Amino acid sequence: MAEETLTITDNRTGRRYDVPIRNGAIAATDLQKITSNGSGSGLLSYDPAFLNTASCRSAITFIDGERSILRYRGYPVEELAERSSFLEVAYLLIHGELPDPTQHGQWVDAITHHTLLHENIKKLIDGFHHDAHPMGILVGTVGALSTFYPDAKDIFNEASRRLQILRLIAKMPTLAAFAARHAVGMPYAYPDNDLSYAGNFLNMMWKATELKYEPNPVLERALDILLILHADHEQNCSTNVMRAVGSAHADPFSATAAAAAALYGPLHGGANEQVLRMLKEIGSVSRVSEYVKRVRSGELRLMGFGHRVYKNYDPRAQIIKKVADDVLAVTGRSPLLDIALELERVALADDYFIKHRLYPNVDFYSGIIYSAIGFPVEMFPVLFAIGRTPGWLAQWQEGLLDPEQKIARPRQVYTGSPERHLPGIRAAKAEAGTSAS
């Protein structure tokens, strides 16, 4: 069998180095021994945005972007979306296996009984402007939860970690719904333990004066599927933030606030909100070609298109398209869907998109579903955050327990000025005859 090594010749010195290959990767630290004159700090690998750098070893999510494969703990996302529930998937991500019926019952029960918030959180939310973006409120309040649970700092205590994981998965929807109701001046609706995770979220969003809120089962299931599809996506931007903050041994509430802040960006979880704004700006099917021309000319990006990893299609987008049909059959057809379908048709036949391998991603159709269910656009990234929470937590815990991990601290290639001095010091050095560069 061929040796699992890479031989590097440094043409500056003529020296050869054998570097081991493990799991299809070389260790960047092995490059340190490659120096131009036998001393110094050695060769760095330069990879802004981690285009080809693995920052961890992970057993949680597998993606093959070329073949459009997404698996959680080995299970294809299509099967999970069809046959399981979001809380089952959350259990799978955190524990590595699907729960048996007893474990499932205990897990659902525990999460259901951690949905309430400390009443002071309501006062915190009340302090936000009526037009505060709910994602800003979520980032602020989930970070604030860290001050309510100082026991969360005990990150190497397994029981404590489990409790914080339950709290976070349980409380994110409550924070999210309270943020939404604050914007419209509605009284906060408390969780209903009789309902499913998704059904309860719909209840907290829309319960008015009725004694019992009854979620529409099609919309409840659609929301559950969307949460499953967002549950993890290996080392994406916000997960990388979760791991980086976790690597400093911050508590998981603070790390989740940081991850949610990353998700808020329009290139990440904020994209679904931008898709809906874009479809509204296009306004009609007849204006789609003109819009695509503007994208081709480099004036704009087509939101909801393109992905760092998927270069053929995003498997989540395909599932979502089907869910959109189910939801719109209940809520009535949306003119935005017609614009989206036309945009997809025109873009996929266009040279620019073919050449750049740009396909609809998870965010392209999810906004149409959210909007049909009745969520305001500002809530779209918040929904993404609720779905991604189990993934963040699974990745946080895996990173924390990985003996190879240390505090995340990348290197840099310095491109600034060489040493120089303030005028007075320069003159003094010149007088003393020492270097004053």
> Of the candidates 277, 356, 411, 426, which one interacts with ligand CMC according to CB under 6 A?
356
Considering only residues 71, 95, 118, 268, which one is a binding residue for ligand CMC as defined by CB under 6 A? 268
Count CB-CB contacts under 10 A for residue 21: 13
Give the shortest CB-248-to-ligand CMC separation in angstroms.
Answer: 24
Which tokens go with 137? 């409120």
104 is an active site residue: no
Query: By the 8 A CB rule, do 215 and 202 touch?
Result: yes
Q: Is 388 in the site for ligand CMC (CB under 6 A)?
A: no
Whether 252 contacts 111, CB under 8 Å: no
Interacting stretch for ligand CMC, rule CB under 6 A, among 61-69, 153-161, 176-184, 301-309?
301-309
Is 363 known to be catalytic? yes
In the complex, the smallest distance separating the C-beta of residue 328 from ligand CMC, rounded to whole angstroms, is 22
Note whether 247 binds ligand CMC by CB under 6 A: no
Which residue is it, tokens 């007088």?
A: 431
- Name which position in 112, 196, 254, 361 contacts ligand CMC (CB under 6 A): 361
- Compute the CA torsion angle 11, 12, 18, 24 (nearest 10 deg): -70
Amino acid at 9: T
Q: Which of 164, 239 has the CB closer to ligand CMC? A: 239
Number of H helices, E strands in the chain: 18, 6
Cβ closer to ligand CMC: 133 or 230?
230
Q: Partners of 69 in the beta sheet?
A: 64
160 neighbors 151 (Cβ within 8 angstroms): yes
Rg (CA), the chain: 25
- φ and ψ at residue 413, rounded to 5 degrees: -105, 110
Marked catalytic residue, from 104, 118, 268, 421: 268
State which residue, 182 or 388, has the beta carbon closest to ligand CMC.
Answer: 388
Question: Which residue among 114, 182, 233, 307 is the active-site one?
Answer: 307
Query: Counting contacts by CB under 6 A, is residue 306 touching ligand CMC?
Result: yes
Q: Decide if 133 is catalytic.
A: no
Q: Which stretch binds ligand CMC (CB under 6 A): 134-142, 263-271, 331-339, 390-398?
A: 263-271
Q: Compare residues 111 and 271 and give the one whose CB is closer to ligand CMC.
A: 271
| Angle of CA points 405, 411, 415, to nearest 5° | 170
User: Whose structure tokens read 């995003």?
Assistant: 314
Query: At its nearest, how many Å lie between ligand CMC and the CB of residue 314?
Result: 7
Closest C-alpha to 273, from 367, 340, 179: 367
Which residues are at the interface with ligand CMC (CB under 6 A)? 236, 267-269, 271, 295, 301-308, 356, 358, 361-363
Residues designated as active site: 268, 307, 363
